[in-house]
Structure 1
Amino acid sequence: MTIDIDIDDNQHLSNLDAKDIARRYGAELVELETLRYGLLEVARDMHESLVRSSFSPIVRDIQDCTAAIHMRTDAGWETVASREGAMQHAFTAQHMCNFLMEEWDEASLQPGDTIFVNDPWRGAIHQSDVNLFRPIIIDGRVEFVLHSTSHVLDLGGAVPGGFANGVQTHFEEQLKFPPTLLYAGDVPVRPAFNYILENTRVPSSLLGDLRALYGCLAVGDARLRELVDRFGLALVRAGGQYGTDRIEQSMRAAIAALPDGDYPVEDFIDEDGVTDEELRIAATVRVRGDSIEVDFSGTSRQPLGNVGTAWIEGTRCVQGIKMVLDPHSPVNSGTLRPIEALLPAGSAVCTLPPSSVSNHLDIGSRNINMMTTAMSMALPEHGVAPDSGNFAAMMIGGFDDRHGHEGPWAGAILPGGAWGGTYKSDGLTSVTPAIGACRSSVWEHIERESPIVPLMHEFLPDSAGAGFHRGGFGGIFTLLPLATTYATITGDRSKRGAPGVNGGGSGFPFYAWLVPGDDPSVVLDPFDLRGCEPLFGVFDGQGRPVADDGVFGRGARYQTAKVAGLELKPGYALRVLFGGGGGWGDPLERPVDRVLEDVQAGLYSPEFVERAYGVVLSSSDEVDVDATTRLRAELADARKDGKWTVPAACPTNWIV
């Protein structure tokens, strides 16, 4: 379709009337809006089909998956609609499609062909995320490519489920596939299926998920063709172009409201799981007019361990910018256009093969946190503090030797984390960090499908970073194995918790213990550490967690929170405490009635609010106003003299 445009093509859509828009896109505004949302509905139908038909808890419960529609344009293949369960995929999908269609012989494609790829250097996030692409041929040419993606429980490798902590190359991870034909004309390619299924610990689950990923593409194929048959290809394409342009200009308008300038930010990864070297992730966010450049120069070299990321992680910075500046519009290629990332080759954010990149969570979370911090610098009154930075993600598996359950198994557990405080409100409690925005696991399903009993999953008092708007609270998760189980724990922010912004305090760090499981009173009391073996965390000389002045790994089994193959025997429980979000704003200015409400709700202890908020309680339901006024003034003066800083969140009632 060729459209002659006789108006300024760069003019903002909001400044155009319906006639101008019709002249630009060759269609009436009501038609363009109808088709923009029509494409979104196709993506939503695909996503719902995937979630409802998948076998593994990663998709069915956690929703670590996404569906997208890509369209041929003069600029390449662009995402015109997406529906995500895991927000991260929506920002990477377009790049994978362009790699695929550039590499594949398009002339050989037939209707119903479906292509499998999970190579991080071709745009996949890590090898545990599989991607299926279905080109849609209309009048002899591929006009759209449908895309489904999800994490899978297992694709071989040293440990179930990926996150191969401790390895140094992708050869030691799960299977890695370049673009591979999985269905030819809707017929399964048996050699491809055989190779995949014979190299996994859980073939039935993986087969079910692959069929679900394929089936949702078939649903999308039918729905998209209905749209084209009803409105015509030219009009559907115009709706897709209008939708991406509209989102681009929404992003550009939000960026243009920022003051021009350079905003340097940094964060740190505890270590890489192989060495004890801390990794620095640095970025300079350059705002110029209605566009942003994110320059990652100054980031540490690529690590030996698996925490480095392939170049696709550069798109994560867009997530952090969007969630602050333009949180309400859907994600498509227009979201990406105003923002460019500079990624130094061979750095932690752009590792070169054959490095391992299975643990993308840590750097991906930092990228988002650093962007929200940069936005807080540009617009202090619209800031968001960093989140807990990890999901307490665990991949578990083994051989179930219980009668009637005999056989290998694998599972995924995602207890959650917490978000930082914002300029509007306190942070969210016990949610997954923003990198995925997934759901936590469904414990009834875990119990039914795995030899695991989740004993405890609840919030952790005194774990939220203090602030005028506090962070969200972290949590406690304890599991008891009923058969020998091997766990891979992927954690960070274990040396220091999520930092606050605008004067806010840090959240509680990440910890884990092995707990004797024959005494329920001990197992279910997270503050009773008697008889417990610390696995990792920051401790004082008596073995108590201390967030500010302790030593990481003191007395612990591991000097890292990235653990692979931890053997759990029946009779012992695994307990993790996942940290809270950072605080936003000065905690000495938080209204005392809100501090009191938190204490009364059991969220904070009186001891912590006195240290962090300067609030003195005379009883459980009353504030000592005079003592509070004096203490807040004393702490404010001490802060000016450099003698007081907001203490990191940390419970005080440990029993050792």
Structure 2
Amino acid sequence: MGAALRHASYSPIIREMLDYSCAVFDAAGQLVAQGEFIPAQLGAMSLVVQATLRRHGPSIAPGDVFVSNDPYEGGAHTPDVNVIRPVFVARGAPRGGPPALLGWVGTVAHQVDFGGPNPGTEGADNRQVFGEGLILPPVRLATARGPQADLVALIGANVRDPVSTLADLRAQVAACRIGEARLLEIAEHHGPATVRRAFAALLDHAERRTRAALAALPDGEAEAEGFLDDDGAGGPPTRFQARLTKTGDRLTVDLSGSAGQVPGGLNNPWASTRACVAYLVRAVAGSDIPANDGALRPVTIVCPEGSILHPRRPAAVSVRHLTCQRLADTMIRAAARLWPDLPVAGHFVGFFSLMAEGPSPRTGRSVVLQDVVGGGTGAHGPRRLHAQGTAGPGGGPGGMTMPGGDGLDAVDTHMSNVGLLSAEVCELEYPWRLVRSELVPGSAGRGRWSGGLGLRRTYEVLAAAQPVVLYCEQTDQRWRPWGAAGGGDGRPTRLIVRDPAGRRIVVASKATVILEPGSTVTIVTGGGGGYGDPRVAGS
């Protein structure tokens, strides 16, 4: 499914930067299997399928394809568009009766623009979700008779680049068709009843493995706090608190100490918060445990509605990924305090993004550029491995120790997994020049093992004056990537905008600015935190 989506899509953010995900669900909408794509997307997708079942129920039929991006019906933010398809089988149905629902296949892809006042749809300055582009509750994109032409026309009329957006939606539909075909092949070979039993067994297996991993850990409680630079509207820093309590084979993740929902677009919908917790569980319990909804059964999440991590409609959410990154970082820090066998330092979680609209040098039509720039990951100390050979704090008989190591340079971390836009694609597709893209020496925290390096990237505007949406995090010295066990902190993020004469334009970390041709935008991302005493040999 993923390969088909990538090769059939038009937009570089999908085919080059790989901002998409694919998954399989059982008939009730439980996530059974997923590709290793974007954690923030996949952990949320099952809620979209379940919302579709609630809304459409018995009317769901073979050949249906549903589309949804509603952040308050299982979605993340409006540019992440879910396309899902029910899979029906005839075998097992009564003779002459209707086909039986076997399961679902689904894709979610980041559409580079889905309407709204800002190019790229996103913006921390949004005040309500109604200003964040076209919102689609779960509705039919197609039936067995073909596409819903009126809906397709409606979508095309509301986006800046309908050619790319509609092509990318068709690519998502094609990927779902491939997923459906492969699932039907398995059902034909083994029988639908066996497939259903396999779905249930996979969910139960993930639950058992997660419970066993948790049971191997010491009981206890620990907490950590983290901050965003502001509230998305120029207000004060926004606080997160994560308290982890582990008892027996269960884990409670209490996020109730976090800030209330904020006026800007930093609010994190419930589905995305749930996805962050799923990521934490995978990091703690071991990466070889199937990443499905069964792994969350031993976990209780405490997160009151009305908070930044469980906002009420119509709170704005379009840059919720900044919050996802900080939440994941805060929970990992709490886990490292609770279990010393999880020896990690903090990653860069500033997540810089640039979005702009302009004429394509290749086609001449209006297109939307988006680039995402990562930084360094934190170093890690020696880590006990499970007997099965996977990293995790449980250890156990027959396990071994993985040596400590430096962080990775210039990568997207935690809840995201997006690649950099290449200079060649940037300059071929968009009226921008990539002037510089280089690692930043000295940006990481030193330690016995040092953090990964950040990245310096400079873009030059080539087309006529245009609005440019910029946002990033970790610009405040107080919230730098944290070192651990005596290691140093990584450097904060820096955002530098200059006019054509080279004069610096003062901008906030989240801003929309009008830039003339010859203006430049430079982002300098932070490195990861170091781990261990830097005076020890091997630093």
Give me the TM-score of the superposition, normalised by structure 1: 0.74
SS state at 2:279 partner: helix
The whole-number CA distance in structure 2 between the counterparts of 1:405 and 1:69 is 37
Listed as ranges, the gaps of 5+ residues in structure 1 are 1-45, 519-530, 536-556, 596-656
CA contact (8 A) 1:386 1:581 kept: yes
Q: CA RMSD in A?
A: 1.7
Q: Could you tell me whether the CA contact under 8 Å between 2:499 and 2:515 is conserved in 1?
A: no
Match of 1:116, SS state, is strand
Structure with higher RCO (Cα < 8 A, 6+ apart): 2
Structure 1 residue 163, shift from structure 2 partner = 1.9
Deviations along 1:179-222, whole A, 9 cap, x unmatched?
11110115010110000001111000001100000000111111
Alignment of 1:246-645 (within 5 A): 246-315=205-274, 316-399=276-359, 405-423=363-381, 424-484=404-464, 485-496=466-477, 497-515=480-498, 531-533=502-504, 557-558=506-507, 560-564=508-512, 566-589=513-536, 591=537, 594-595=538-539
Asked whether the equivalents of residues 373 and 501 of structure 1 are also in contact (C-alpha less than 8 Å), the reply is: no
Match for residue 108 of structure 2 among 149, 152, 177: 149
Tell me whether 1:109 sits opposite 2:60 in the alignment. Answer: yes
Equivalent residue for 1:79, pick from 6, 31, 38: 31
- The answer as to whether partners of 1:114 and 1:186 remain within 8 angstroms in 2 is no
Between the aligned partners of 1:443 and 1:112, the Cα distance in structure 2 is 41
Matched residue of 2:30: which SS? strand
Hey, what's the Cα distance between the residues in 2 that align with 1:218 and 1:208? 15
Q: Distance in 2 between matches of 1:138 and 1:406?
A: 46
Cα pair 2:202 2:290 within 8 Å, conserved: no
Counterpart secondary structure, 1:435: coil
SS in 2 for 1:455: strand
- Tell me if structure 1 keeps the 8 A contact 2:41–2:272: no
Partner of 2:397: none
Residue 24 of structure 1: aligned partner: none
Percent identity (aligned): 30
Which residue pairs with 1:240 in the alignment? Answer: 199
Question: How far 1:575 moved relative to its partner?
Answer: 0.9
* Partner SS for 2:345: coil
SS in 2 for 1:380: coil
SS of residue paired to 2:452 = coil
CA drift at 1:434:
1.6
Q: What is the identity, as a one-letter code, of the residue corresponding to 2:25?
A: H
CA contact (8 A) 1:513 1:532 kept: no
| CA apart distance, 1:71 | 0.5
Q: Determine the C-alpha separation between the residues in 2 that align with 1:505 and 1:194.
A: 54
Counterpart mapping for 1:172-191 below 5 A: 172-185=131-144, 187-191=146-150
Write the distance in 2 (CA, Å) between the matches of 1:532 and 1:421: 37
Aligned residue type for 2:486: G
Is the contact made by 2:242 and 2:334 (CA closer than 8 Å) also made in structure 1?
no
Report the alpha carbon displacement of residue 176 of structure 1 after superposing the two structures with TM: 0.7
Tell me the distance in 1 between the aligned counterparts of 2:159 and 2:352: 24
Rounded Cα–Cα distance in structure 1 between residues aligned with 2:364 and 2:419: 29
Counterpart of 2:535 in 1: which secondary structure? Answer: helix
1:157-176 mapped onto 2 (5 Å cutoff): 157-176=116-135
Counterpart code for 1:55? Y
Give the drift of 1:406.
3.6
User: Would the aligned equivalents of 2:358 and 2:430 in 1 still touch at CA under 8 Å?
Assistant: no
Distance 1:170 1:516 in 2: 32
CA distance in 2, matches of 1:128, 1:337: 29
Contact 1:272/1:307 (<8 A) preserved: yes
Q: What displacement does 1:399 show?
A: 4.4
2:76 matched residue in structure 1: 125
Q: Indicate the SS of the match to 1:447.
A: helix
Q: Of Structure 1 and Structure 2, which has the larger fraction of its residues in helix?
A: 1
* Match in the other structure for 1:611: none
Deviation at 1:296, TM superposition (A): 0.8
Q: Which amino acid aligns with 2:15?
A: R
Over residues 325-371 of structure 1, what are the superposed CA-to-partner deviations in whole Å (9 max), with x where a residue is unaligned? Answer: 31233411222222221111111111111110001112101221122
Which amino acid counterpart does residue 450 of structure 1 have in structure 2? Answer: Y
1:516, distance to aligned residue in structure 2 (A): 5.6
State the Cα distance separating 1:505 from its structure 2 match: 2.1
Q: Indicate the SS of the match to 1:585.
A: coil
Matched residue type, 1:443: A
In 2: Cα distance, 1:269 partner to 1:344 partner: 19
AA aligned opposite 2:204: D
The answer (yes or no) to whether the contact 1:398–1:486 under 8 Å persists in 2 is no
Q: 3-state SS of the aligned residue for 1:381?
A: coil
Give 1:405 deviation, angstroms.
Answer: 4.9
What is the identity, as a one-letter code, of the residue corresponding to 1:561?
A: S
Within 1, Cα distance between the matches of 2:489 and 2:285? Answer: 24
> What letter matches 2:280 in structure 1?
G
The SS at the match of 2:327 is helix
Counterpart of 1:630? none
Q: Secondary structure at the match of 1:344?
A: coil
Letter in 2 for 1:418: G
Does the 8 A contact of 2:69 with 2:135 survive in 1?
yes
Deviation of 1:62 (Å): 1.1
**Counterpart Cα distance in 2 of 1:320 and 1:506:** 22
The CA deviation at 1:54 is 0.9
Q: Rg larger in 1 or in 2? A: 1
Stretch of structure 1 that moved more, 580-589 or 298-307? 580-589
Give the direction of change, closer, same or farther, for the CA distance of 1:339–1:186 in structure 2 (3 Å limit): farther
Letter of the 1:454 partner, please give it: L
Runs of 4+ in 1 over 3 A off after TM superposition: 404-407, 515-518
| C-alpha contact 2:359 2:431 (8 A) present in aligned 1 | no
The answer to whether the 8 A contact 1:321-1:372 is kept is no
Deviations 1:212-256 (A, max 9, x none): 000001111111111101110111122222222222222222222
The Cα shift of 1:462 comes to 0.8
CA distance in 2, matches of 1:422, 1:320: 16
- Separation (CA, whole Å) in 2 of partners of 1:418 and 1:412: 21
1:404-452 residue CA offsets vs partner (Å, 9 max, x unmatched):
7543220211222221111221111110122112222222112111111
Q: Where does residue 16 of structure 1 map in the other structure?
A: none
- 2:510 and 2:277 map into 1 onto residues whose CA distance is 24
Shift of 1:87: 2.1
Cα distance in structure 1, aligned partners of 2:363 and 2:49: 41
Q: Which SS does the other structure have where 2:72 is aligned?
A: helix
Q: Give SS of 1:66's match.
A: strand
Contact 2:282 2:291 in 1 (8 A): no
Q: Does the Cα contact within 8 Å between 1:397 and 1:409 map onto a contact in 2?
A: yes
Name the counterpart of 1:47: 2
Give the Cα–Cα distance (whole angstroms) in 1 for the partners of residues 45 and 88 of structure 2: 20
